Structure formats: C-alpha cells, structure tokens
Amino acid sequence: MSADATFVSAGSNRLPVGRPDLGRNLTFGLLDLLGRAIVAGEYEDRPFPVEKELATRHGVSRSVTREALKMLAAKGLLGTRPKLGTFLMPQESWNLFDTDVLRWILERPPSIALLRRFNELRAGVEPQAAALAARRADPQQRQAIRQGLERMRAAEHDEDDPLDADLAFHVAVLRATENPFFIQFRDVVATALRVSSRLTNRIAGHTARIEEHAAVYHSIMAHDAAGAAENMRAVIDEVLLTID
C-alpha cells in the first residue's frame, strides 16, 4: 500500500481510501476485484461489506458499487434479502459456466481437483461434439478445424502460440456441431483450457499431442462419427491422466 494512502474508520477496521487501479471501466474493475476476493475466500470469516463501505474503500461511486454487486449476484456469488442486506452465496450456487467465475476459481491455488472435474465435463461434451461435427460440418467449418490443426503443427516449430492453436482447434470442432448449446460451451472450454493447458504442459513437459488431434480431424473429414468421438475422448483422457 502506498505511503500516502489515507484511511477512514469502519468499526474496528481502518479502511484505505483512494481507488486502486480498477482500469478504465470502474464497474468491471470493481467486479473483478471483488469476484477474485470472494472466490479466494477473503470474506468467509467476516460479513460482506455494505455498499457504502465498499464505495469508500475503493474510491468509487455508490452507483458503480451497486452495479458491480448486481453483477456478482447475477453470477451467483452474492445474495440480498431485506434486513439481511448483501451476503455470500454458497459455492454450489456459483455459476460455474460463467467465464468470469470459472477464471477466478481456476486462478486460485490449488486447482487440480477443479481441473479434473472440468475435464470430466469436457469428456462428456466434446466427444459428442466431435461426432456431430463429423456428421454436420460444412466445407468452411472443416477448413477451420484443419487450420486449427495446422496452427498446432506450426506451434511445434515456434511459429504460433501452442495454447491459442489448441483453442482454435477445439472451438472449431464445437462450432461445426451446428448446435447452439455446444457452440456456447466454447467460452467455458476457452477459459478453462487457458489455465489447465499451462498446468498440464508444465507437468507433462510437452504441449498438446498433435497426433491425437490429427486423429480427431481425420475422423471428422471421413464423416466417421464414432471414430471422431473415440479420438476426442482420447485427447481428453490424456489430460485426465496427466493431472491424476
């Protein structure tokens, strides 16, 4: 904390006055700051601060604070009731499909158990997505999958980013399902894969296996739905084996 920070009294606590670096959009900056704090457990042993206290502590307006709290409530992290005010919601109420919530959770250490559960979810979704892609992908969607695979191969020679290339491949498969529910799953895959890939790569000592992804691609190109599902399952099983 800077030496020139001033303080106000709030009960037995002394709270810093003066806005931290919340970025250009104060509402989203405060949302991110409070969301991270909630998920990290900073408010587990004490009441969640009231709106006025938060506004003073972070040097923002009451309207900015109110909007950030509404957004946290919409994500399942906070609840409000008459006479009780704002309070933390239990973790089972958190919207784990919200990319902000997922990112905050995955950023807190340790997250191995959560990554395992997430990849168990992927194992239930992405093989079926690959099967649908084998049946439904149009020429443009097939090209996008091929380009994702080519980017992964280029990344092996330091000509592309390995993580971005891996994401491009998986997102292209989801889009090729022509199913809006599968397509919306891309945001969850992208958010969690960015964290889990760094962890699995560090553990395994290598990036995503090209040959396994190539097997998915060739099955899709051959309209082999069963093969596409089996090969995608092998991709995710490799991740599960790495983090077990």
**Token digits for 244?**
């077990």
Start-to-end Cα distance in the chain: 40
6-90 and 109-243 agree in CATH topology: no
Nearest to 98 by CA among 125, 71, 58, 62: 71
pTM over 0.85: no
What CA–CA distance (Å, rounded) separates 76 from 175? Answer: 28
Domain 109-243 CATH (choose: 1.20.120.420, 3.10.20.90, 3.40.50.10170, 1.20.120.530):
1.20.120.530
Q: Which of 66, 37, 30 is nearest to 51 (CA)?
A: 66
State the pairing for strand pair 78-81/6-10.
Answer: unpaired
* CATH 1.10.10.10, applies to 6-90: yes
**Sign of the four-CA dihedral 163, 209, 113, 121:** positive
Residue-level pLDDT, tens digit, the chain, 244 residues? 333 333 333 333 333 444 567 878 999 999 999 999 999 999 999 999 999 999 999 999 999 999 999 999 999 999 999 888 899 999 999 998 898 998 898 788 766 787 888 889 899 999 999 999 999 999 999 999 999 999 999 999 999 998 899 999 999 999 999 999 999 998 888 877 777 776 666 665 555 689 999 999 999 999 999 999 999 999 999 888 887 7
- Token readout for 59 is 């040097």
* Domain ranges (residues) in the chain: 6-90, 109-243
